[in-house]
Amino acid sequence: MPALLEHVPVLAGQSPRTASAVGEPRPDDSAPSTKDSVTDSDAPDPGKDGFEVPEKLETSARSVTSFDVGATALAKKPEIPWAVKGPVLAMVIFFEVAVYWNSGLGSIKATIRNKLGINNAQYGVIQSAQSLVNTVVPFFSGAIMDYYGAEISSVVCSTLIFVGYLLAAIGATIDSYPLVVVGEVLAGFGDITVRTSQIKITSHWFAGTHLGLVLGLAISVQRTTGVVSKATAIPIARHSGYHMFFWVALILQAAALAVNVLYFLYERRVPAQFRAVTGRALAAQAKKSGDSTRTGGIKLGFRRFWRSVWLLPAFFWLLILTQLLQNGVVISFQGLSADMVRVTRGTTEKAAGWISAVGQIPVIILTPLTGVFFDRIGFRVHFIALSALGWIVIFCLLGFTGLNPIAVTMLQSLPYAINLIPLQAVIALSVSPLQQGSAQGTYQALVNAGTVIVSVCSGAIQDVSPKGRKNYNNVLIFMLAIKAFDVAAGGLYCLLDLTSLDKILSRSNAQQRAYNDKVHAGELEPAQTPMLEPKRGWTRAALVIILAQCIVAWVVFLKYSV
């Protein structure tokens, strides 16, 4: 077996059947697959896609069947010292610093509408323009990222974002609505790939140790940008023109691009045993060893992605199908929150922007703390339902009470802080590292389709709603209905964690390591985890629904963009 393959991690969450589904020989004493599972005879052979599970990692019927945030392998991974990964932390948390500057657009929504001569639905098009292309791009970028690596993918796509922001800034300067939309769409081609690259990189360097903390720090940096954006949008627009808001985004993206290039150069100087293994490297090793079945390279990129999709576990599909519009609600609400405060409380644009920004300050502190909580205490999946309940309370307080808007925005920081990390961690826990790029890409495509639908529909609903302080009531009712479903979905995840996932979503890192050690020592018999296996029925249904949602997103976007 080539030496390079020794560093490919196999997540400890794979049961013997799941392990065989990703290319590992099935032990004789493993239980047979269910009828709906992908069997050896009909499953795609991942070995033909440029990767394989090393033979050196022995498996038996006692293979560990629980994940440890993408780290605990059947064979130990080399410990990465902080002297090596410390600089990574300092760089990777700034990859998306510019993207979140656009969260301040809502503070100058009225100004943008007046200057560009557009309605609320068309403003929703601007707000969701980056999300539109990301209903399709992630399906391919995930596979390309798995093959070429997250580092080069992030650099290329950061460049696309820079060019897109340049066009949007020029469009705002000349009051051209079409050019602003084109710029935002072009930026969208890079946005989601950079985001997925950031998650993939942090998962490689910090999985099993401080992943929750690092994700929390990255989100804190992004939301710090959002706070500054919302607080300064009105002053910038009044003193320099609203177009300057777009130029600031361009300047920040130039800095983010420089950081991406710096990380790319740094990663090339790191000792080989600490680097992430790419499909391209595995294909090169296979070609060198004379294995012609594993040298297809990027020529078979779509085929590789397609095979990888069929190896994603049933629980992954259940998770994303029950999250169709959930993140779209949160993203859309954050973009509209300042204008909601202005309309429902009768404040000025400037005051609404400041109030909205103040509500983001606790998030900067709470987000990394929640990451530490998940790492040390666990219960990640329980916070999905808790976050949904929190949003329901916030929507009710903002739209149907007269509570002080500062109090509402401060309370809003609680569900906002715990909204994102649990889902990212759950995907990292339930999907093999070999399919992480495809899994994250598929999930992000769904998130972006939902964002387009919710953003544009919210604008359309507002346009036909009564004017005055109740102008957002119907929009909030629309969002309430979606979040009510999320509460039920969160309860389902908790039930499945207990019955079908061997509690992998609720254990802390320390508890998971102790459990894995006992299984390795033969002190415990691993539980069966059928939902962590690929099932063709789930995959077929999910692909049909995802395709339908993407089509709806494009139809809605195109209807209101012209």
pTM: 0.69
pLDDT of residue 56 exceeding 70: no
Mean local confidence (pLDDT), 194-215: 78
Mean local confidence (pLDDT), 481-485: 95
User: What confidence tier does 305 reach under pLDDT thresholds 50, 70, 90?
Assistant: low
User: What confidence tier does 7 reach under pLDDT thresholds 50, 70, 90?
Assistant: very low
Question: Rounded to whole angstroms, how far apart are CA atoms 516 and 502?
Answer: 12
Q: Would you give the distance in Å from CA 442 to the centre of its chain?
A: 9
Torsion sign across C-alpha atoms 81, 82, 86, 89 = positive
Average model confidence (pLDDT) across the chain: 78
**pLDDT 10s digits, 341-350:** 999 999 888 8
**pLDDT 10s digits, 386-440:** 999 999 999 999 999 989 999 998 998 889 888 777 887 888 788 887 777 778 7
Instruction: Go through the domains of the chain in sequence order and give each one's CATH number.
Output: 82-290+312-554 (1.20.1250.20)
Question: Rounded to whole angstroms, how far apart are CA atoms 237 and 234?
Answer: 5
Note the pLDDT of residue 2.
35
Q: Decide: residue 193, CB within 10 A, 0-12 exposed, 13-18 middle, 19+ buried.
A: buried
- Here the tokens at position 429 are 């826990």
Note the pLDDT of residue 390.
95
User: What confidence tier does 102 reach under pLDDT thresholds 50, 70, 90?
Assistant: confident
Nearest partner of 543 among 332, 308, 301, judged by Cα: 308
How far is the CA of 324 from the CAs of 172, 424, 443, 473, 485, in angstroms?
32, 15, 9, 22, 11
